[in-house]
Structure 1
Amino acid sequence: MRLTILGSGSPEAYARRASSGYLLEAGDDVILFDCGGGVFDNLVRTGRKPSDVTHLFFTHLHSDHMMDYARLVHAAWDEGGAPLRVFGPPPIARITEQYFGAEGVLSHDLRARTRFLPSQEVWKARGGTLPRPWPAPEVTEIRPGFVFEGDGWRLTSCEVPHAQPHLVCMGFRVDRDGASFVYSGDAGACDALTSICTGADLLLHWCYRLDGEQAHPAMIPLTPAPSEIGRMAEAAGVKRLVLTHFRVHMDGDGIHDKVLADLDTVFSGPAEIAEDLKTITISGV
């Protein structure tokens, strides 16, 4: 499997980091985990087309994990791509309808593109046929414990503490050919996530708070610091750890070196900080 970081940042506007988005290639499938702001542009920067994405899994529905969803679906549709398979917690079906339904926010655009004669001629000149259907992603609403069998790969999931009860929040694991990848989503420490991390070849874990950084008491259990993440990864037998979801101040002078030094004291495997457009090969040992 191969992982490409399309967005390693937070909701903060930041030239260095788009919001959350991670592309995993597993055989012929191209799987996108989350689709926050800036992820679409970074997808295109990798040389891929929007219609190359075959599956989209949402960990949860905070805006910084889904702001580019409509853009991805619309662009893939405009290329004539197959309907995107979308999996996410409720209310992703209602959100999709509110974008692309008959009374959705994009309905004026879609009527113009499919009914206006010059637009129809442009579509035909690109190889399309009439009548032109509207975008119709295949949406499946999921909850923690969901399992999906792909073409040679298997996805499992668990609940992670983050924004309950307002949002359903999940972490995912993908296994293929003896290799394993875990994406925490935005997760506080919990036994369920530790369990699905067991023996993982790569753990991609969000990191919203530095060791020693002050935070409201309600935030602390929901935002593990690097050393806490490292201890969990070590206990679970994770082989490689990548921290992501970095905020602007976390890229300050010397901070990365300190984060990696803190991890080195508690985690025995290689560890790094995610950067947009970096590619990582995931293979079993």
Structure 2
Amino acid sequence: MIDITLLGTGSPMIDPNRAGPSTLVKAGDSVFLVDCGRGVLMRAAAAGVGAANITALLLTHLHSDHITDLSDVITTRWVTTFVPTPLPIIGPPGTRAVVDATLAALAPDISYRIHHHADITEPPSVQVYEYTDGQVWDDAGVRITAAPTDHRPVEPTLGFRVEHDGASVVLAGDTVPCAGLDELAKGANALVHTVIRADLVQQMPLQRIRDILDYHSSVEQAAATAARAGVGTLVLTHYVPPLVPGQEDQWRAQAATEFSGPVEIGDDLLRVSVGN
């Protein structure tokens, strides 16, 4: 079994009921945090997962809403736990520079804590790995593969496929339909895909909001990707505009025009299990 928990289903558009983009994937004894938008650790705590429980952090790309709480993940793991191993952070090229800049911004805080606490003698320990595609993880029965997606002009961007004990889950991140994601998602038990309601976004007054149509998949496009790849379940997240309670059937109906399988649409902390 692989358990998927939508920690944050929001977007850069503030929604008091939805944290920023982040998904938790539990495979065997391993727990992977995919992206770390605003409020991620609060939602993880509600799901029963603390910073010490995170096996690795996977970043699909470096847009601000997907890495807002990177400093919180690093700092909380360092200050409040006794994890002896570095936190692996896996992402596209540019990830190391972002992590280094985050640690530099935290330099005063790091200094304060080292000088105050006798049992904190070293700064936070992380290990950054940058990929554009290929296998990025193989440990404890879990294999993770990355593939390029298309979120231009944001590039490079990644999707991830997590496999364990015959089950597979794909995290698309932000992307328009592309061959890389089609191949990555082929035959997966579930595809977690960020989506926008193109019909609603087109009506928004700000051009900068309408611009997101250029590099995000609509509900229908995400569903068509799921259909082409032959996935078992489509899990929608990162709703733009914010999903209004009671309108779930509208989003599901749009997906159903392209994909005949189960479609999961829900609030933060929605849990979906796949596999035997």
TM (norm. structure 2) is 0.89
Equivalent in the alignment of 1:88: 91
Check whether the contact 1:210–1:259 (CA below 8 A) recurs between aligned residues: no
Equivalent in the alignment of 2:11: 10
Q: Counterpart amino acid of 1:224?
A: S
Larger displacement relative to structure 2 (180-189 or 254-263): 254-263
Shift of 1:36: 0.9
Shift of 1:98: 2.3
1:44 to 2:45 alignment: yes
1:226 to 2:219 alignment: yes
| In 2: Cα distance, 1:179 partner to 1:206 partner | 21
Equivalent in the alignment of 1:24: 25
Shift of 1:228: 2.3
Check whether the contact 2:142–2:162 (CA below 8 A) recurs between aligned residues: yes
Larger displacement relative to structure 2 (23-32 or 142-151): 142-151
Equivalent in the alignment of 1:149: 138
Q: Secondary structure at the match of 2:239?
A: coil
Q: How many residues align?
A: 268
Q: Counterpart amino acid of 1:242?
A: V
Q: Counterpart amino acid of 2:244?
A: G
Larger displacement relative to structure 2 (60-69 or 73-82): 73-82
Check whether the contact 2:86–2:125 (CA below 8 A) recurs between aligned residues: yes
| In 2: Cα distance, 1:221 partner to 1:99 partner | 29
Equivalent in the alignment of 1:123: none
The structure with the larger Rg is 1
Distance change (3 Å), C-alpha of 1:212 and 1:93: closer
Query: Which digits, 9 at most, give the CA deviation of each residue in 1:114-161, with x for residues without a partner?
Result: 123xx32xxxxxxx4x6x111011111222335421221111111111
Equivalent in the alignment of 1:199: 187
Shift of 1:61: 0.5
Equivalent in the alignment of 2:238: 245
Equivalent in the alignment of 1:168: 156
In the TM superposition, 1:170-185 aligns within 5 A as 170-185=158-173
TM (norm. structure 1) is 0.87
Equivalent in the alignment of 1:72: 73
| In 1: Cα distance, 2:6 partner to 2:273 partner | 12
Task: Note the aligned Cα RMSD (angstroms).
Answer: 2.1
- Runs of 5+ in structure 2 lacking a partner? none
Check whether the contact 2:196–2:219 (CA below 8 A) recurs between aligned residues: no
Query: Which digits, 9 at most, give the CA deviation of each residue in 1:235-265, with x for residues without a partner?
Result: 2111100111113x44236532122122223
| In 2: Cα distance, 1:262 partner to 1:108 partner | 49
Shift of 1:275: 1.8
Larger displacement relative to structure 2 (208-217 or 5-14): 208-217
Shift of 1:11: 1.1
Shift of 1:224: 2.5
Q: Counterpart amino acid of 1:233?
A: A
Q: Counterpart amino acid of 2:255?
A: L
| In 1: Cα distance, 2:78 partner to 2:61 partner | 24
Query: Which digits, 9 at most, give the CA deviation of each residue in 1:35-78, with x for residues without a partner?
Result: 01111211122222211101011000011111111111111111
